[in-house]
Amino acid sequence: MSQHRRPLLFVAACAAMLGRATTAQGQAAAADSARCAQAANLVRAYDQAMIESGGHAVEGGGKSEQRQLAAAQLLTCGAEGGTTAAATIRSARFLTDTTALNELVGPFDDFRDTAVVNASMNVAADPSASIEARVFALRTLWVVRTGKFWIVYDRMLPTSESTSAHPVAACDDGLEVTDAKPAWSHGVEPPPGFDAAILTLADQLAADPLQPMAVRAAATCAARP
Amino acid sequence: MGNPARRIGRRISAQGIATCTATIALIAIAGACTEPRPTAPTGTGAFAASRGWTHADSAAAGDFDRAPASDAISDGTASIVSVSPSLFQGYTQPNAIDITLAGPVNSVTVVGNGAIECSGDYGTLTGFDAAGTELGSVPLELIDPSDCSPPSNPDNVTYGAHATLTVSRGIIASVRITPMSPLEFPVFDLVGHASQLYTVTLGVAAPPPATLVVHCDPTVVRGQTVSCTATVTPTQPYVVTHRHADGAGYTFDSADRISQSDGAPYEWSGQAVIDTHVSITVEVPVNGTPTALPPGTSELAVTPRTGAEWTGLEIPATTPTPEYVAGPPLLANPFPTLGTLLSPDGAIGQYQRVIAYYWGTVANGPNTNLVYTRAPATIQPPHIYIHAWLLPTSAFYRAQHADPNVVLGRNHCSAADIDRLRNNTIAHEDRHYTEDRAFFENQDVQAALEAAHGEFDVSTLGQPGSGQALTAARDAAAAAAYKTAWDAAVKTAVDQQYPVQTPDCIPRQP
């Protein structure tokens, strides 16, 4: 039953947002609560549908793009944006499809928000979560800490140099990037010391031989400057 | 007057009773035997001796057993290994005596006791080294010439001769005592038979002072193993107490104590990275007290790796085709500030290229803790990423339509504005690519990386924070090699000279 209702909810949310976008006056004003609420509804509906389908793309032209726009909108929505993003990060923790994960949680990687940080730390440390979701969570932790949003998932995976004693990922080794400076989208600013907490978690995961090698390697990236 | 005690000895011998004391002074072979001299098969009076005895007869009589074949001197550094046939020599044993020694012997003293005529040849003491080469020779001389014919007893006989052979070079491994002559001589109206029972004293050369020599392979190709060897002579147990290495901007010190109980050379080896001065300090026991020797030092020179793979790193000649993405590595929302197309750096366009380094870290040897490139770097094809929102197919693009009636002030963005922004961004990223390629054509980055090195404390590996430290060391090495110059030429200069021209318009939110 829910599989039928949720796409409908998603379509309704899309329509509301599009209608708002095309009729609203004064778009230069800060994102208002109604707009953020609509974006949040759209993201929740889309993400829920996608997660319940195991990461398969939601059918329907433009739905993915609308979700993408809504997610981008949420980055300007403060606490509401952070709460919604955090819910997605938690809900997607069992997904293994990296394309789906990139679509769902990728837009929030630079979201410096308390809820996002907490959710990412929970997923990164959650042994029941999929390895892929944990790597994405570690990527988010690295970006919210350093602002290096240009690092992609693949560069956090173990390289051939990895050993059980020393997990190694490429991270930003040898990556020459122009025009890029650390940047964040700001939500509810994490409390002081959050970056130290991220470092601690990353170091623990990287050093834990019981953790999957992919998680350990990604953790070495999350611990990097 | 002769020495009464010694004359007693002589007289005892003359009476046909042998009293022998084999003493190795310094030393200590002390053995004594008293046995009656056997009656000669054919005699000529009181001095009749066993001239006609065979070697077996002498052995049976115990002549050859009067001294132990070997013993150790008090400090255990030298000893008599064997004596052949015995320490007795004379009429009944007219053969040379061969004594084999062990230890750092540089002096041998033989002192005879018995009866010999005070004329003729008293024998010769000759020393040889382990190879049998003669080291020196001295004739035996009378111990007390005044004993030969004292007024009270002018018999021209004395109790013994002696000799000391000292060598300044080499170790005495054996000595030979050739017999006296004559073996038979007149004593008043009797016939005397020569006899000498020798005591042997070994002199041990003072051990030469211990010295430490450190030798490193003088020239090594970077990345190959260099070996530095510390050798203590004379061979003896020692403890390596300090290892030091320094080169350009590099210092390594270790106070780890490494015991070499067998005295074998200590080898300090590992990959070579830079020219290095090496110093090693050891302790040796001197009278039971650990004593540091002067440090041994050596130099090692490192030559670059050569060959086609170590030069000429190049950027692929084909300009990258823009790849349009709406997320990583670009931002999900490239225009987070409402009302403007201004965006965070790198949000709408990036030029990316990966150069794959192959770093190694030296864990042992005189370049411990140095980070270096263990294999040639490779370059992966570059990418230009442009944000998909700038494409006409995007919702963002479609939402941009200018207000037709606004003449003054800032207008809403039009599709043409977004086209211009997209094209400007692509042109800008193309310029990064062009300058990147030019940089690598003009600079031998591969050769610079070949020589690149940094420092990282390998003992911290695995500890929290070690990954960051290792990364920092590698980044510093790359920066010094070329990256700082690259940043200036390919990033900063392009950004300053060819900035992205951003239309000054107000974008509509889709």
Query: Three-class SS string for B397-417?
Result: HHCCCCCCCCCCCCCECCHHH
CB-based contact, A76 to chain B, within 8 Å: yes
- Whether residues B236 and B362 share a domain: the answer is no
Q: Which residues contact A114 (CB under 8 A, 6 or more apart)?
A: A82, A187, A188, A189, A190, A191, A194
Residue B258: CATH number of its domain: 2.60.40.10
Quote ipTM for the complex.
0.83
Work out the minimum CA distance from B254 to partner chain A, whole angstroms.
Answer: 24
Q: Which positions in chain A touch B439 (Cβ < 8 Å)?
A: none
- Whether residues B299 and B316 share a domain: the answer is no
Tell me which of B17 and B237 has the higher pLDDT: B237
The reported pLDDT for the residue numbered B169 is: 84
For residue A53, is it within any domain?
Answer: no
Cβ of A27 within 8 Å of Cβ of B351? The answer is no
Mean predicted lDDT score pLDDT of chain B: 85
Which band of pLDDT confidence, cut at 50, 70 and 90, is reported for residue B407? low
Element (H, E) at A122: helix A114-125
Q: Which of A9-18, B341-350, B364-373 has the highest mean pLDDT?
A: B364-373
pLDDT at residue B66 tops 60: no
CB-based contact, A189 to chain B, within 8 Å: no
Domain count of chain B? Answer: 3
Q: Which residues contact B247 (CB under 8 A, 6 or more apart)?
A: B274, B275, B276, B277, B367
Among residues B303, B328, B357, the one where a domain terminates is B303
For residue A216, is it within any domain?
Answer: yes
CB A140 within 8 A of CB A104: no
For residue B480, is it within any domain?
Answer: yes
The reported pLDDT for the residue numbered B121 is: 95
For residue B505, is it within any domain?
Answer: no
The reported pLDDT for the residue numbered B28 is: 30
- Whether residues B294 and B340 share a domain: the answer is no
What would the mean pLDDT of B70-74 be, rounded to a whole number? 43
Which band of pLDDT confidence, cut at 50, 70 and 90, is reported for residue B477? very high
- Whether residues B320 and B352 share a domain: the answer is yes
Express each pLDDT in B1-11 by its tens digit. 344 333 333 33
For residue A177, is it within any domain?
Answer: yes
For residue B506, is it within any domain?
Answer: no
Tokens of B248: 């350009």
Cβ of B464 within 8 Å of Cβ of A203? The answer is yes
- Whether residues B262 and B335 share a domain: the answer is no
Residue labelled with tokens 């490239």: B334
- Domain residues for A190? 109-225
The reported pLDDT for the residue numbered B103 is: 87
Tell me which of B298 and B19 has the higher pLDDT: B298
pLDDT at residue B55 tops 80: no
Size of interface A-B (CB pairs under 8 A): 153
What would the mean pLDDT of B413-438 be, rounded to a whole number? 96
pLDDT at residue B74 tops 60: no
- Whether residues B257 and B164 share a domain: the answer is no
The reported pLDDT for the residue numbered B466 is: 83
Q: Which positions in chain A touch B467 (Cβ < 8 Å)?
A: 203, 206, 220, 223-224
For residue B425, is it within any domain?
Answer: yes
Angle at CA of residue A210, ends A208 and A212, nearest 5° = 95
Nearest to A183 among B345, B396, B508 (CB): B345
Q: Which of A42-56, A58-72, B189-203, B291-305 has the lowest mean pLDDT?
A: A58-72
What would the mean pLDDT of B333-350 be, rounded to a whole number? 90
- Domain residues for B471? 308-497
pLDDT at residue B15 tops 70: no
Q: Which positions in chain A touch B346 (Cβ < 8 Å)?
A: 149-150, 177-181, 183
Angle at CA of residue A129, ends A127 and A134, nearest 5° = 90
The reported pLDDT for the residue numbered B65 is: 39
Cβ of B336 within 8 Å of Cβ of A185? The answer is yes
For residue A221, is it within any domain?
Answer: yes
The reported pLDDT for the residue numbered B208 is: 76
The reported pLDDT for the residue numbered B7 is: 36
Tokens of A67: 């979700």
Cβ of A185 within 8 Å of Cβ of B357? The answer is no
The reported pLDDT for the residue numbered A60 is: 63
- Whether residues B139 and B286 share a domain: the answer is no
Nearest to B357 among A173, A180, A223 (CB): A173
For residue B509, is it within any domain?
Answer: no
Nearest to A27 among B330, B355, B508 (CB): B508
Tell me which of B280 and B466 has the higher pLDDT: B280
- Whether residues B423 and B492 share a domain: the answer is yes
- Whether residues B81 and B181 share a domain: the answer is yes
Give the SS3 label for residue B134.
strand
Q: What percent of chain B has pLDDT over 90?
A: 70
pLDDT at residue B465 tops 90: no
- Whether residues B250 and B151 share a domain: the answer is no
* Per-window interface: A 109-128 vs B, CB < 8 A: 109-110
Q: Which positions in chain A touch B471 (Cβ < 8 Å)?
A: 171, 173, 224-225
Domain count of chain A? Answer: 1
pLDDT at residue B338 tops 70: yes
Express each pLDDT in B125-157 by its tens digit. 999 999 999 999 999 999 999 999 888 888 999
For residue B510, is it within any domain?
Answer: no
- Whether residues B259 and B318 share a domain: the answer is no
The reported pLDDT for the residue numbered B404 is: 73
The reported pLDDT for the residue numbered A180 is: 83
The reported pLDDT for the residue numbered A58 is: 65
Q: In a structure prediction context, what are the per-residue pLDDT tens digits for chain A, which is 225 residues long?
A: 333 333 333 444 444 444 443 333 333 344 468 889 999 999 999 999 999 988 776 666 578 889 999 999 999 999 999 999 999 999 999 999 999 999 999 999 999 999 999 999 999 999 999 999 999 999 999 999 999 999 999 999 999 888 988 899 999 888 999 888 899 999 999 999 999 999 999 999 999 999 999 999 999 999 988
Angle at CA of residue B167, ends B163 and B171, nearest 5° = 115
The reported pLDDT for the residue numbered A112 is: 96
Express each pLDDT in B27-43 by its tens digit. 333 333 332 333 333 33
Q: What percent of chain B has pLDDT over 70?
A: 84
- Whether residues B333 and B480 share a domain: the answer is yes
Q: How many CB atoms lie within 10 A of CB B451?
A: 18
Task: Report the residue of chain B nearest A181, measured CA to CA.
Answer: B345
